Amino acid sequence: MNLLFLFARRFIAGQTLDEALPVVEQLKEKGFGTTLDILGESVTNVSEAKAVAEEYCRVLRTLKERGLEANMSLKLTQLGLDISDNLCFDNVAKILIQAAKLGGFIRVDMEGSPYTQRTLDMVKRWHSIYPNVGTVVQAMLKRTPQDVEDLLEEKIGIRLCKGAYKEPEAVAFPDKRDVDSQYAQLMERLIASGIYHGIATHDEKIIDAVKKYAAQYNISRDKFEFQMLLGIRRDLQEQLVKDGWRVRLYVPYGNSWLPYTIRRMRERKENFWFVVKNFFRR
């Protein structure tokens, strides 16, 4: 576990809010936007899910007090989706009300495909009452072009990512080339939509395609943002900011770092081998 935590440290801002806040402050100084995530998912206990909602509200207030953006990302299974829709709805509504009071924004992350429809349905319900919420779509899923159209119809801000969960072939493209190609098409659809979205990737080819598309159709740099994960391609993140692009970093912190870390390991075989090699070195 210690070795895995050593690896995890690259991707997380710490285990406590006190550790995470200086990271957010430094990123702000460097010109990055941030979205803070309290790590956790698959909560099956009502009082725990309610406590997570309270914690999100507390952290939003702390961010504001420290002069930082009240922008956070959350997972619905962390807030009771596995227990009941109503519990989850009320928990997130509390957070959205708190965020609205502070001029903040909440992004609902997308989890595995068994949750896609429920997540989208809930986000549409919240958005009709609290407009300071957006969600995420995954280019790997075959259904995503239709989901994007439905969200755009409601003018909901989208974070476009490739998708980090292992999915069956029935619902997702098994070949990375198909995922990348669908990503590129959806990216164009989003940037041209006139609604503010996040293009979340570290893929240089896609980032270049975004720049070209924006230049070709005269879409100004304040109409969308790039989004990346803390600890991945720092060079690219800093270069984009230097070049005058908007970049928001996803900054996770907390004790429940294992599932997040495993997703980061699975994304890149070098990460897996880093852990294995260091294990045998000990």
Ligand X SMILES: Cc1cc2nc3c(=O)[nH]c(=O)nc-3n(C[C@H](O)[C@H](O)[C@H](O)COP(=O)(O)OP(=O)(O)OC[C@H]3O[C@@H](n4cnc5c(N)ncnc54)[C@H](O)[C@@H]3O)c2cc1C
CB of 264 to ligand X, least distance (A): 4
Between CA 219 and CA 224 the distance in angstroms is 9
Between CA 93 and CA 117 the distance in angstroms is 19
CB of 205 to ligand X, least distance (A): 9
Is 61 tagged catalytic? no
Q: Give the side-chain half-sphere CA count within 13 A for 248.
A: 26
Within positions 44 to 103, which residues make up the interface with ligand X, using CB under 6 A? none
DSSP classification of residue 81: T
Cα–Cα nearest to 119, from 104, 105, 134, 139? 134
Within positions 117 to 156, which residues make up the interface with ligand X, using CB under 6 A? 136, 138
Within positions 224 to 253, which residues make up the interface with ligand X, using CB under 6 A? 227-229, 232-233, 250
CB of 212 to ligand X, least distance (A): 17
- Applying CB under 6 A, which of residues 127, 162, 197, 246 lies at the interface with ligand X? 162
Is 109 tagged catalytic? yes
Give per-residue burial for 82-91: e unless 16+ CB within 10 Å, then b: bbeeebbbeb
**How many amino acids of this chain bind ligand X (CB under 6 A)?**
24
Paired tokens of 85: 């829709």
Residue positions counted in the chain: 282
- Applying CB under 6 A, which of residues 30, 66, 234, 268 lies at the interface with ligand X? 268
Contacts of 276 (CB under 8 A, 6+ apart): none
34 touches ligand X (CB under 6 A): no
> One of 107, 159, 248, 264 is an active-site residue; which one?
159
Toward ligand X, which CB reaches closer, 9 or 233? 233
Between CA 149 and CA 190 the distance in angstroms is 9
Q: So which residues are the catalytic ones?
A: 109, 159
Binding site for ligand X (CB under 6 A): 109-110, 136, 138, 159, 161-165, 200-203, 227-229, 232-233, 250, 264, 267-268, 271
